[in-house]
Amino acid sequence: MADAIGLMAGALTTVAFVPQVLKTWRSGRAHDLSLTMLLTFNAGVALWLIYGLVMRATPIVIANAVTLALSLTMLGLKLRRS
């Protein structure tokens, strides 16, 4: 039950990034995104991913691996399109 809740929470928080990635990709504009926030967020998610790997917590690993990929995409768009 705990893993199911973790997977659902991870899915919802990860999916929340998809509209922003798509909007930024389509508009070609990322200047309104805070570089400091993106750098800090990516560092935090990377640490959560490492934590999940160390703890062998599948929901944490899956959610943070996908979130990190999306967030790194946002960071890349910010660096290229700002």
Residue 46 burial (CB count, 10 A): 16
Q: Which amino acid is at 9?
A: A
> Which of these, 5, 77, 74, 16, lies nearest to 41 by C-alpha position?
74
pLDDT of res. 61: 95
- Domain membership of residue 75 as a residue range: 2-81
- Read off the pTM: 0.86
Question: What SS3 class is residue 9?
Answer: helix
Q: How high is the mean pLDDT in each 10-residue block of the chain (82 residues)?
A: 88 89 90 93 96 95 95 93 72
The two tokens of residue 21 are 């990635």
- In the 8-state DSSP scheme, what is residue 33? S
In CATH, what number is assigned to the domain containing residue 48? 1.20.1280.290
Provide the number of structural domains found in the chain.
1
**Cα three-residue angle 49-62-79, rounded to 5 degrees:** 60
